[in-house]
Amino acid sequence: MTANTIVSESWPPIDELLPHRPPMLLVDEVTSHNATSICVRATPDAHAWYADARGDMPVHIVIELMAQAIAAHEALTRRMSGLPPAPGVLLGTRRLEASAPSLRGGRPVLVHAECVLRDDAGNGAYDCRIESEGQSIASATIKVHQPNDFSAFLLEQLT
């Protein structure tokens, strides 16, 4: 985060920022935010649908953690401009780097996302990383799309 990052304990509840609900809501809260980046806290649930036999979150699920951090960033940024959250889509990543096969259940992690590209058509890219106990566990550049007219975008995809 940069010097202009706002750290606050008064961010809105995550369910006001994201359309997700349990069991698909994977992040707990926003810990910091600025115009280009966000950090959210997430605690992998040892009993969740994704949990492996040890109660850990398989590392491929971190892409969804990153996507939810990005969605929270977009929602907060829009909120600060007086706009409601708007739907978007995760396009994917070309490469996910991870130093562990899973995130330990019950251990909080920090998910950082920094916008590195945004165009007028709604295309964006975020450099993301996940930390646990000060150690980087995973990183990826996530590509997203937030169309101006989501309904028209969906119809276009179906035809």
Give pLDDT tens digits for 102-139.
Answer: 999 999 999 999 999 999 999 999 999 999 999 999 99
Assess whether pLDDT exceeds 60 at residue 3.
no
In the 8-state DSSP scheme, what is residue 144?
E
Domain-wise residue ranges, the chain: 6-158
Q: Which of 2-6, 82-86, 97-101, 136-140 has the lowest mean pLDDT?
A: 2-6
pLDDT band at 6 (very low <50, low <70, confident <90, very high): low
Can you tell me the mean pLDDT for 88-106? 96
CA 77/CA 37 separation, integer angstroms? 10
Can you tell me the mean pLDDT for 87-94? 94
Assessment of whether the complete model's pTM goes beyond 0.75: yes
HEC letters along 85-120: CCCCEEEECCCEEECCCEECCCCCEEEEEEEEEECC
> What does CATH list as the number for 6-158?
3.10.129.10
Assess whether pLDDT exceeds 60 at residue 153.
yes
